[in-house]
Amino acid sequence: MKKIILVRHGKSAWDKPFLADHNRPLAERGLRDVPMMAERLKARNIEPDLFLSSSATRAMATAALTGEVFGYPKKNIHADEHLYHASPEKILKIIHHQKDSHQTILLFGHNPGLNELIYLLGGRIDNLPTSGQYGFTFDTDEWEKVSKKNAKVWFVDYPKMKVN
């Protein structure tokens, strides 16, 4: 069984309106929410073996802060420029090309691509909020075979969601 958690980057800063979007950092709220959400993810006893991130500054920062909670080295985070504002089909193609030795992937990216991928895989959400997480399990041992046919929603979590 393969598992993937789609993680939308933390809230980004907009105090420099002329900064290129790709270089936009996390805002104070993002810096607060990302570690909290990583702790909630860790509390689920999830053991990711690959951090795959858009190369955008805010996505990489989200991955790095999450990695600190999991003890996942920043140098091992795989930055993929093709995940930056990627279509759901492009994201799925990237997932299909991952090594089968990886069992659980955390994928850090952006909307609308993540929202659309959730729908493509049979999940439902109006809008995955910043720092939000959407987990799927797949009844396959090969990333290349991941599809809506073998996808099952695992969990959804985001900062304003009430936790028990």
**Is the per-residue pLDDT at 109 higher than 90?**
yes
**Is the per-residue pLDDT at 141 higher than 90?**
yes
Q: % helix / strand / coil in the chain, to the nearest 5?
A: 40, 20, 40
CA angle, 73 then 77 then 79, to 5°: 155
Note the pLDDT tens digit of each residue in 49-86: 999 999 999 999 999 999 999 999 999 999 999 999 99
**Is the per-residue pLDDT at 163 higher than 80?**
no
24 is in an annotated binding site: no
- pLDDT on residue 164: 58
Mean pLDDT of the residues in the chain: 96
CA distance 83 to 90: 8
Confidence class for position 3, pLDDT limits 50, 70, 90:
very high
Confidence class for position 17, pLDDT limits 50, 70, 90:
confident
**Is the per-residue pLDDT at 161 higher than 90?**
no
Taken in order of first residue, the domains within the chain and their CATH numbers are 2-80+90-139+151-157 (3.40.50.1240)
Q: Read off φ and ψ for residue 111, nearest 5 degrees.
A: -90, 150
CA distance 155 to 124: 11
pTM of the predicted structure, to 2 decimals: 0.96
- pLDDT on residue 162: 76
